[in-house]
Amino acid sequence: MVSDYSSLASEMAYIERPVVYFEFDQAEFFAGGHAFRRGSQSCEEDGFGPVVPDVDGALAAVAEAAAAGPAPQEPYATRMADALPFRDGQCSERVYQRIIAMDTPLRMPPANQGHQGGRLRRGGHR
């Protein structure tokens, strides 16, 4: 997949497919004329594919990815695995369980234990 700054690259990373970031307007994009601001992560250091600034670079990166096959190459495959570790088919179940847990009232510790610091979590655990 070829992307500019789209979060769709994360969708491709989840299904472990190659990504090419075609950031032809990088200087303008990060100069403050866009709503997006550069954060602590960068596509160059943390992204899921090579970052290219021009059409020739994009074409070369796409050709390289196509020649390598559908699996992403290193270091991008490792970045994908590290960033998205839960690929067990249970993501929806985890989200559902967290939503259900939101309706569980907070329980205070027994009076004889007193306050031992830390925040109370759902179910009274720290």
Domain boundaries defined on the chain: 2-83
The predicted-structure confidence for 29-87, as pLDDT tens digits, reads as follows 777 776 666 666 788 889 999 999 999 999 999 999 999 999 999 999 999 999 999 88
Q: Give the CATH superfamily of 2-83.
A: CDP-glycerol glycerophosphotransferase, C-terminal domain (3.40.50.12580)
Q: What is the pLDDT of residue 15?
A: 94
Q: What is the pLDDT of residue 42?
A: 81
Q: What is the pLDDT of residue 66?
A: 96
Q: Which long-range contacts link 61-69 to residues 24+ away (Cβ below 8 Å)?
A: 61/20, 62/2, 62/20, 65/18, 65/20, 68/18
